[in-house]
């Protein structure tokens, strides 16, 4: 019943030229792979947690035994974040948002361009490693935020509608130190269908008590 690395839902080179094949290969196989391996290693010490989804583990970190809390926070978070990340991108993605998420963006931020500017700004200003997010609040509204390391909004009672990885491992081979350039280009591979699916799950109130992904 160990946690498993989900397969990439497209070829390693499928997101080129926005994200190069080598970055995708290392990022998925090595980085995400290590989070899964290290999460499983930590959980071996506490078999009573074996039945919990990764989302459930990081939803209430205070409930995790102290000796593995940091490992679960970092590696459980890394597993949840990357499992989302592969799915909210796709080949020939991008374009203007569609459906309910487009309406939420317009209502909250005025227009898509202003939203992108603010989201990219959150990613650019995150010092060191972390993520930029659009997160759902308990009152049904949405907000832009960033988190350090592999922290996920779910640990703050928020719903991770979608996020972009701003760790250097996500962009350094192609964009070097030019994180803002990566943030701008990334919108070309965004999968609005999957983001609408996640937004619908949030609006349906599932964010508080159901995992955002079916597999463990």
Bridge partners of 190? Answer: 89
Does 151 participate in binding Mn ion (rule CB under 5 A)? no
Span from 157-165, 174-182, 187-195, 197-205 in contact with Mn ion (CB under 5 A): 157-165
Among 130, 165, 194, 211, binds Mn ion (CB under 5 A): 165
Does 186 participate in binding Mn ion (rule CB under 5 A)? no
CB of 85 to Mn ion, least distance (A): 7
Does 167 participate in binding Mn ion (rule CB under 5 A)? yes
The answer to whether the beta carbons of residues 53 and 211 sit under 8 Å apart is yes
CB of 201 to Mn ion, least distance (A): 23
Does 171 participate in binding Mn ion (rule CB under 5 A)? no
User: Residue 206 and residue 200: Cα distance in Å, rounded?
Assistant: 9
Nearer to Mn ion, 55 or 165 (CB): 165
Span from 14-22, 108-116, 132-140, 167-175 in contact with Mn ion (CB under 5 A): 167-175
Q: What would you report as the CA-atom Rg of the chain, rounded to the nearest whole angstrom?
A: 17
Q: Which two tokens stand for residue 64?
A: 């995790």
Span from 35-43, 50-58, 160-168, 178-186 in contact with Mn ion (CB under 5 A): 160-168
Count of residues in contact with Mn ion, rule CB under 5 A? 2
CB of 81 to Mn ion, least distance (A): 7
Q: Which two tokens stand for residue 112?
A: 């898509």
Binding site for Mn ion (CB under 5 A): 165, 167
């Amino acid at each position: 019943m160990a946690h498993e690395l989900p397969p990439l839902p497209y070829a390693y080179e499928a997101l080129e030229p926005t994200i190069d094949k080598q970055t995708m290969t290392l990022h998925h196989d090595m980085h995400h792979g290590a989070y899964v391996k290290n999460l499983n290693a930590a959980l071996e010490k506490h078999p009573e947690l074996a039945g919990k989804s990764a989302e459930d583990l990081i939803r209430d970190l205070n409930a995790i035994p102290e000796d593995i809390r940091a490992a679960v926070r970092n590696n459980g978070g890394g597993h949840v974040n990357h499992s989302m990340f592969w799915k909210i991108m796709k080949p020939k993605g991008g374009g203007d948002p569609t459906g309910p998420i487009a309406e939420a963006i317009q209502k909250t931020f005025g227009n898509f361009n202003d939203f992108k500017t603010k989201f990219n700004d959150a990613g650019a200003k995150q010092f060191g490693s972390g993520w930029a997010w659009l997160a759902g609040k308990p009152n049904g509204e949405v907000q832009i935020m960033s988190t350090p390391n592999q922290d996920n909004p779910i640990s703050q009672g928020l719903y991770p509608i979608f996020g972009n990885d701003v760790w250097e491992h996500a962009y350094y081979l192609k964009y070097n130190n030019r994180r803002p350039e990566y943030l701008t280009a990334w919108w070309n591979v965004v999968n609005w269908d999957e983001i609408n699916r996640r937004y619908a799950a949030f609006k349906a109130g599932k964010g508080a008590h159901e995992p955002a992904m079916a597999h463990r």
